[in-house]
Amino acid sequence: MVKIGNIELSDFPLLLAPMEDVSDPPFRAVCKENGADLMYTEFVSSEGLIRDAAKSVQKLDIFEYERPVGIQLFGSDVETMGSCAEIASRVNPDLIDINYGCPVKNVACRGAGAALLQDIPKMVKMTESVIKSTHLPVTVKTRLGWDDNTRNIQEVAERLQDIGIKALSIHGRTRVQMYKGAADWSLIAKVKENPRITIPIFGNGDIDTPEKALEYKNTYGVDGIMIGRATIGNPWIFNEIKHYLKTGEKLAPPTMEQRVDVCRRHLEFSIRWKGPVAGVFEMRRHYTNYFKGLEHFKPYRMRLVEAPTFDELDSILKEIANDYTEMVC
């Protein structure tokens, strides 16, 4: 069993990566139904949250059925991050996660996210500030380092463990790499092999098949895997990986009917969360993901993004299930 503070997870947990504009409550709900063991909110700006900005406050929405769930915070100011940890803790997530990995200019060039990899003393202070401000376990998600000359994840792991973080997720790229090239898990393995390190180490980067998950589990010895992009339009990947790790056999790919069912669940959760108008609207960006690669799908997509109500969408989804019934994706 893997433990994060008092949170008990399975032997080799599969984590849904925090993803802006993706890992919102409806998407987390379908990931949970399809095997995710631990999930995170999209990152929440501490600058936004401290000003009570609606976009940031909304990201604090969490639901009982998705536990354990962590709220991820990012920011550049040590005190503000502490205050926001306190605010986020009031909605009672299972843990608070700090983002020290975001590479995008708007974040990293303003001293937040991966920028902290260039200033470890400040990263330590910020982490202490968050830990002091919450009764919940604090975890961190970060990258190997800023660039190839500063791959300082070993030092980061030791220093953050020493001040009390309860788990570390490592994306096997540097900030400068952004998302380019293959993720390098060998340094993640080194962190895990360090006898000083006792907290769970979760590997992240490029896991997109059950075979790869097994290979990386065996090769790099991590405590669990965090999966991001491969879950988009494909949330059953969690169960597929679990089944493969357990039996060595691959599950049959979802039938079109199953694919449509998960898409419909996503839509239902979206409407439950946002109401019938915004819920339908927000779901529009997901249809292409669920039906990737289907021939002659464009007319259906057009209808899906124009239909205004659940009932209309439901009947289009039924048509899709019927018309593509022979196809396995």
Ligand X SMILES: Cc1cc2nc3c(=O)[nH]c(=O)nc-3n(C[C@H](O)[C@H](O)[C@H](O)COP(=O)(O)O)c2cc1C
Task: Return the residues of window 290-319 that contact ligand X according to CB under 6 A.
Answer: none
Q: Minimal distance in Å, beta carbon 181 to ligand X?
A: 12
Q: Where are the alpha helices (DSSP H) in 46-92?
A: 46-50, 54-58, 78-89
Question: Which residue number, 117 or 313, has a Cβ lying nearer to ligand X?
Answer: 117
Q: Minimal distance in Å, beta carbon 278 to ligand X?
A: 20
* 46 CB-contact burial (10 Å; exposed 0-12 / middle 13-18 / buried 19+): buried
State which of residues 190, 212, 229, 272 lies at the interface with ligand X (CB under 6 A): 229
Q: How far apart are CA 9 and CA 225, in angstroms?
A: 12
| Helix (H), strand (E) at residue 290 | helix 287-290
Question: Which residue number, 72 or 80, has a Cβ lying nearer to ligand X?
Answer: 72
Only one residue has tokens 């494909």, namely 234
Report if residue 227 touches ligand X, rule: CB under 6 A: yes
Report if residue 204 touches ligand X, rule: CB under 6 A: yes
* Annotated catalytic residue, options 31, 102, 109, 263: 102
State which of residues 9, 14, 18, 192 lies at the interface with ligand X (CB under 6 A): 18
Q: How far apart are CA 329 and CA 327, in angstroms?
A: 6
* Choices 16-24, 233-241, 261-269, 289-297 (CB under 6 A): range interacting with ligand X: 16-24
Question: Which residues are within 8 A (CB) of 202 and not within 5 positions of it... i.e. 6 or more apart?
Answer: 13, 15, 167, 168, 169, 170, 222, 223, 224, 225, 226
Question: Which residue number, 74 or 291, has a Cβ lying nearer to ligand X?
Answer: 74
Task: Return the residues of window 28-67 that contact ligand X according to CB under 6 A.
Answer: 42-43
Report if residue 184 touches ligand X, rule: CB under 6 A: no
Q: How far apart are CA 29 and CA 57, in angstroms?
A: 19
Instruction: Name the phi and psi angles at 13, rounded to 5.
Output: -65, 150
Say if residues 250 and 40 touch (Cβ distance below 8 Å): no
| Helix (H), strand (E) at residue 97 | strand 95-100
Report if residue 260 touches ligand X, rule: CB under 6 A: no
Q: Is 72 annotated as a binding residue?
A: yes
The residues pairing with 3 across neighbouring beta strands, listed in sequence order, are 8
Please provide the size of the chain in residues.
329
Task: Return the residues of window 128-147 that contact ligand X according to CB under 6 A.
Answer: 141
Q: Is 285 annotated as a binding residue?
A: no
Q: Where are the alpha helices (DSSP H) in the chain?
A: 25-33, 46-50, 54-58, 78-89, 105-108, 120-132, 153-163, 186-193, 210-220, 237-247, 256-274, 276-283, 287-290, 298-306, 310-323
Say if residues 203 and 225 touch (Cβ distance below 8 Å): yes
* Choices 117-125, 222-230, 241-249, 285-293 (CB under 6 A): range interacting with ligand X: 222-230
Report if residue 235 touches ligand X, rule: CB under 6 A: no
* Choices 158-166, 195-203, 210-218, 223-231 (CB under 6 A): range interacting with ligand X: 223-231
Report if residue 20 touches ligand X, rule: CB under 6 A: yes
Q: Is 135 annotated as a binding residue?
A: no
Q: Is 229 annotated as a binding residue?
A: yes
Report if residue 101 touches ligand X, rule: CB under 6 A: yes
State which of residues 85, 102, 115, 201 lies at the interface with ligand X (CB under 6 A): 102
Based on the residue annotation, tell me whether 102 is a catalytic residue of this protein.
yes
Only one residue has tokens 């790919």, namely 253
Q: Is 125 annotated as a binding residue?
A: no
- Which residues belong to the annotated binding site? 72, 141, 171, 228-229
The residues annotated as belonging to the active site are 102
Interface residue list for ligand X (CB under 6 A): 17-20, 22, 42-43, 72, 99, 101-102, 141, 171, 204-207, 227-230
From the annotation, which residues make up the binding site for FMN?
Answer: 72, 141, 171, 228-229
